[in-house]
């Protein structure tokens, strides 16, 4: 069993990105610049945006975080986005989700210039991704593909079961792995909360991607010998730690890992790769201008 070490892989990719930024600067180019909008003070969102900001600094990107009050109106938020769309010094823009209930998330996503949409959430980018055209691919699926590439995990002809149909992970992952591409060429089964006999599907899977957000959901008896298991879950659960919580994956690691050919841990698996993809998309956005 091989652990797909997202942390180590992400660290080496960060060094590659940092070297590329240096080259750009030496040849008179401009530092890639990521702007992040954070609305309100949700603890997890603040942590994620903090990680994104420090990752930018580590690779030599400029980064701006725009912190807005929880009570901001939808129109005022859309105006902030428009300002950044029109600010040529900013290459990539993300609006951290979830947003407060009074704001229409889809409307916000659609207000971001697709050329700056480094989260890959805009329908223009999602549509291009589904067609296999060049686009910004959302960070978590892109990070998973990168991890599969770096470890040489074969996907062609494999049966991949995806658990969870979110717009951010499940749907793009299903589309990407079914594309005629490498990684890709999978036969994909998409499972979700209404799927009957889920275990029958997972027991047939060569590759399982667990992205439902239920800690410890995938148990040892749901996985066949030699499977590749990718754990996208990162739920904060109460724990006797300094912070009062720990991050729990969707996979019951101790039961599942011994059966796997490859598995991602939580933390240190998909999470660090997600941030890398955001950096790569921001670099790409800055070079496309
Ligand atoms: N909330 C959870 N994941 C993400 C992400 O990848 N991007 C943004 N903008 N918000 C998120």
* Residue to substitute in 50, 84, 96, 270 for testing ligand 1 pocket (most ligand atoms within 8 angstroms of CB): 96
What's the pLDDT tens digit per position in 191-212?
999 999 999 999 999 999 999 9
Q: Looking at residue 172, what is its pLDDT?
A: 98
Placement of tokens 């080259």 in the chain:
23
Which of 47, 94, 232 gets mutated to test ligand 1 (max ligand atoms within 8 A of its CB)?
94
Q: What is the pLDDT along the chain (289 residues), one digit of tens a residue?
A: 999 999 999 999 999 999 999 999 999 999 999 999 999 999 989 999 999 999 999 999 999 999 999 999 999 999 999 999 999 999 999 999 999 999 999 999 999 999 999 999 999 999 999 999 999 999 999 999 999 999 999 999 999 999 999 999 999 999 999 999 999 999 999 999 999 999 999 999 999 999 999 999 999 999 999 999 999 999 999 999 999 999 999 999 999 999 999 999 999 999 999 999 999 999 999 999 7
Task: Measure 257 CA to ligand 1 centroid, in angstroms.
Answer: 27
Task: Compute, in angstroms, the gap from residue 144 CA to the centroid of ligand 1.
Answer: 15
Structural tokens at position 102:
């009074």
Residue 184 contacts by C-beta under 8 Å, 6 or more apart in sequence?
155, 156, 176, 177, 178
Spatial CA neighbour of 233 closest among 255, 254, 256, 209: 209
- Residue list, ligand 1 pocket, CB within 6 Å: 94-97, 119, 139, 168
- Chain-centroid distance of CA 162 in Å reads 15
What gap in Å lies between CA 96 and CA 229, rounded to an integer? 27
Token pair, residue 132, equals 């296999």
Alpha-carbon gap, residue 164 to 140, rounded angstroms: 13
For atom 3 of ligand 1, the residue with the nearest CA is 97
Q: For the domain bounded by 139-271, which CATH number is listed? A: 3.40.50.720
SS3 22: helix
To test the ligand 1 pocket, which listed residue (48, 167, 169, 276) has its Cβ within 8 A of the most ligand atoms? 48
Question: Domain 28-113 maps to which CATH number in 3.40.50.10860, 3.40.50.10380, 3.90.850.10, 3.30.70.100?
Answer: 3.40.50.10860
- Read off the pLDDT of residues 53-78 as tens digits, 9 standing for 90 and up: 999 999 999 999 999 999 999 999 99
pLDDT at 70: 98
pLDDT of residue 289: 78
Which pLDDT does position 77 carry in this prediction? 98
Q: How far is the CA of 157 from the centre of ligand 1 (A)?
A: 30
Q: Whose CA is nearest to atom 1 of ligand 1?
A: 97
φ/ψ (deg, to 5) at 278: -65, -40
Look at residue 168 in the predicted model and tell me its pLDDT.
95
Give, using CA atoms, the residue closest to atom 11 of ligand 1. Answer: 97
Fold: same for 28-113 and 139-271: yes
Domain extent listing, the chain: 28-113, 139-271
Distance 141 CA to ligand 1 centre (A): 12
Please write the tens of the pLDDT for every residue from 13-46: 999 999 999 999 999 999 999 999 999 999 989 9
Which residue, by CA, sits nearest to atom 8 of ligand 1? Answer: 96
- Averaged pLDDT of the chain: 97
C-beta of residue 61 within 8 angstroms of C-beta of residue 21 = yes
- Centre of ligand 1 to C-alpha 139, Å, is 8
Active site amino acids: 52, 96, 119
> Residue of the nearest CA to atom 9 in ligand 1?
96
């Amino acid at each position: 069993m091989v652990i797909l070490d997202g942390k180590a892989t992400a660290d080496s990719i960060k060094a590659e990105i940092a070297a590329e930024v240096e080259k750009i600067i030496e040849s008179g180019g401009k530092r890639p610049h990521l702007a992040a909008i954070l609305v309100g003070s949700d603890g997890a969102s603040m942590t994620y945006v903090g990680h994104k900001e420090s990752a930018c600094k580590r690779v030599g990107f400029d980064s701006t975080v725009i912190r807005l009050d929880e009570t901001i109106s939808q129109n005022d938020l859309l105006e902030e986005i428009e300002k950044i769309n029109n600010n040529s010094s900013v290459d990539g823009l993300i609006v951290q989700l979830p947003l407060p209930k009074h704001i229409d998330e889809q409307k916000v996503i659609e207000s971001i210039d697709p050329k700056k949409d480094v989260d890959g959430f805009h329908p223009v980018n999602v549509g291009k991704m589904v067609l296999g055209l060049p686009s910004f691919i959302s960070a978590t699926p892109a990070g998973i593909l990168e991890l599969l590439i770096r470890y040489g995990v074969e996907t062609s002809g494999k049966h991949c079961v995806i658990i969870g149909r979110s717009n951010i992970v499940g749907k793009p992952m299903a589309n990407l792995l079914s594309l005629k591409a490498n990684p890709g060429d999978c036969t994909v089964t998409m499972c979700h909360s209404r799927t009957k006999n889920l275990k029958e599907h997972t027991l047939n899977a060569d590759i399982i991607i667990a992205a439902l957000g239920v800690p410890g959901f995938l148990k040892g008896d749901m996985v066949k010998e030699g499977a590749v298991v990718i754990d996208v879950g990162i739920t904060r659960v109460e724990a006797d730690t300094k912070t009062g919580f720990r991050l729990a994956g969707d996979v019951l690691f101790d039961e599942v890992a011994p059966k796997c050919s490859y598995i991602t841990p939580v933390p240190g698996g998909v999470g660090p790769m997600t941030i890398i993809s955001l950096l790569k998309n921001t670099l790409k956005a800055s070079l496309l201008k």
